[in-house]
Every structure is written in structure tokens, then in C-alpha cells.
Structure 1
């Protein structure tokens, strides 16, 4: 029997600004059952008049007791994200439910090489996988597509040299002088240069806007990657 998920009270213990419009919220969630990297939660905000709004957000950290981290990108006219990115403070409480999802997950005991491809805020569940790698000897390669350097999440961590983790940035609009690649959308040459060759049979995880995910998945299959090894998670306008 599938256990029904319940709403839990989550208290903000830390806030980290990632970009001008995105921040990471660290919560203490008593009774949290644990999670796998790649899973997400439902967040519910309830107004004084009883009106409530819900949104889903990927978990950004590996399993760490009763600690849950969410990185939220503000959506201009949204109901939930502006509150989470501009109003919520340390000590405040919200409700969340989870973990949700069992398909788009990486299990740390898995041994094949891992290829992570993230577009924009699609980096969030992929970062949970990187953080869950721990002492595993599974090699990771991350292709991170973003508009410009100012949109980089987790800069402090990704810019460090991490043994067994290779990171390539694919800028779509404005690239720094030392980027080594002209700005543009993801292309087959990027996957050849920075990804794993198909014969290594990597576990592939692609997350981002629908158009980005579909383009990346098509390129991967055209290059010979096994479609059964490609897991995708996409997002589009949800009201924020």
C-alpha cells in the first residue's frame, strides 16, 4: 500500500541569495522521512482569509536528516514564488508535503557514469545529485545552460574543483570572455565535447524548460545514446 503523504510544518533556518531573483531556502522539517536526489515537494501557502496556493519545487540538497533545501526562482506575476523570494524570513513557517517522485532520481549506489544536463533553474535537482555523490567513485559530468553569468546558481560550489565532477557552462545570450564557446543554445557539439560518449552507457538526467529538454533529448538520441537511459523532467508556466 502506498503511504499517503502528509503536510508538514517547515521552519526557515537559513536563506542564501543565488541570483538577484532566486534564493535558496533551508528548512527544518520535523518528522521528515528522507528523500532521494531528484525528488520534489509541494509547498502550500495559506492566507489569513483561508485562501491557499500550492506549487512544486525540486529539492536542492541530498538526504540530510530533517533538513530540506529549496531553490526558488521568482516568477513575475506568481502567487507563491514572490513570497518565497522576497518576503519569507528566517524563523517563518510554511507547509510542505513530500518527497514526491520516483522516476527522475539518482540512487547513490548506481555505478554507471552520470551525465547531468540542466537548463536555467533545472539545475536544482541535478545539484541534489551532485551533493549526494559523497564518497562515491561514480564520475559525473554536468552541462549547465544559462543565459549569462549573472544567472549562475550555486556559484561557490560549482566553481570549486570537485574530484570526479566535471562542469561545463553553456551560455545562451552573454558569455564571459574566457567561455571558449560562443553564446547559443545547446547543440550536438556540446554533448560530444563535454558529455559522455554513448558507448559508456551513462545514466542521463535532463531538466529544464520544455523546449530545452526536448532539444537535448533529441540530440542525445541522435548521437546514439540509449533512450531508455535518458530521464527527463521539464517545467513550463505554472503561475509561479
Structure 2
């Protein structure tokens, strides 16, 4: 998506996309950025949700050339500076900010500063699966094997070695996943003050 007068964004930030009807009725949702700041366009992942006012429009109605209302980039708490050693523990469509962080780290030559653990039910439920694998992310499917790794969520003893030298942990996913991920980080001995969480759920 092309954004006029675009401001620089940091990996981990998001935009608010607002739809406006002819009668001035509006609906808006927040979408994390998948692109890094060096990309001339901004990239979002839109999960088409049943009865989702915004997602159904973006998936089924919007066309190239349409003009949308945007506000952003938004978010100071969850952004990553590309210098601080960090780990992303993300689930499902919550991988999007981790993808932005991977791309920014690669662009700036700082890939060693970032580790990613991505969790999903299976390969078909993990967006950007190939890109995550190429970046060296640890992938855990709860219902499928990944190489020699049996099905199941990551455990604290599996996570602990990845936290060595890490100063910040970013968690993104559903409310249920975020709660699991926070508990897992604490069980692995990570400081609660160094955990940044972005959770999402159904908007009523």
C-alpha cells in the first residue's frame, strides 16, 4: 500500500485503517506492519474474519487504486530499535510484527540481534512460514511435527537457551496465546519488566 507523506516507522508498530461509508458511518481496525522502513510500500496482513466489517471489505471489495483513511505509524511500547538483543515469541497471525523485525534486522545487517519463535496449530495456520524458516526462526506446530520436533507448544527448557543475552521479549498473538507466552517466558527465567505484549481478539 502506498502512503502519501509517509512517516518513518519502526518494526513492531501498526496503522489504523478506517473505512467511511457515504452516510459517514465509520469502522476501523488496527493492523501491524509486516514491511520494514526501507520498503517503498507498507505491507499489512489482513485475516478475513466472518462478519468482519473491515477485513471483509479489504479482502473482497477493495481494489488497486482505492483510497483508504490511515493513521500511523502508532506504538512506542512495542517497537524495536534493531540494536537491542530481542526475542519474538509469536503465534498465528501475530507473526506479522516479527516479520517486520526480521526484515529490518536484515536490512541493517543486525540479524544476530533477533531471535524468533513462531507457534501455530499447523503449517497452513502460519503466515510467512517460508520467510520465517529462511530467517532461522524456531517454528513449533502444536498439531504437526516440524522436522525432528514433535507436535506441541514450546516448553521453558526449549526457550531458555534462546533467551541467553536477550534484553527484550516481544509477544504477539491472541489473548489466549499471549497469556501462555508470558507465563512461558517467566517460567524460563525471563524478567517480567522486559516483556512487551501485543494481544488481539474479536472486536465487538
State the TM-score, normalized to the length of structure 2: 0.89
Is the CA contact 2:50–2:56 (under 8 Å) kept in the aligned structure 1?
Answer: yes
> Partner of 1:60 in structure 2?
34
Q: Is structure 2 residue 79 aligned with structure 1 residue 98?
A: no
Instruction: Select the structure that is richer in strand.
Output: 1
- The residue number in structure 1 matching 2:179 is 214
Correspondent of 1:41 among 2, 15, 28: 15
Q: Which residues of structure 2 form unaligned runs of 5+?
A: none
* Matching residue of 2:137: 167
Whole-angstrom distance in 1 between the partners of 2:173 and 2:137 = 17
More helix by share: 2
- SS of residue paired to 2:73: strand
| Whole-Å separation in 1 of the counterparts to 2:183 and 2:100 | 25
- How far apart, CA to CA, are the structure 2 residues paired with 1:137 and 1:74? 31
Deviations 1:179-224 (A, max 9, x none): 323323343243136x223xx2432111111121121111211221
1:223 counterpart (178, 188, 203): 188
**Which residue among 11, 22, 29 is the counterpart of 2:3?**
29
Residue 77 of structure 1 and its aligned partner are, at CA, apart by: 1.6
Determine if the alignment matches structure 1 residue 128 to structure 2 residue 100.
yes
2:44 is matched with 70
Aligned to 2:151: 183
Unaligned runs of 5+ in 1: 1-26
CA contact (8 A) 2:99 2:132 kept: no
SS at match of 1:159: helix
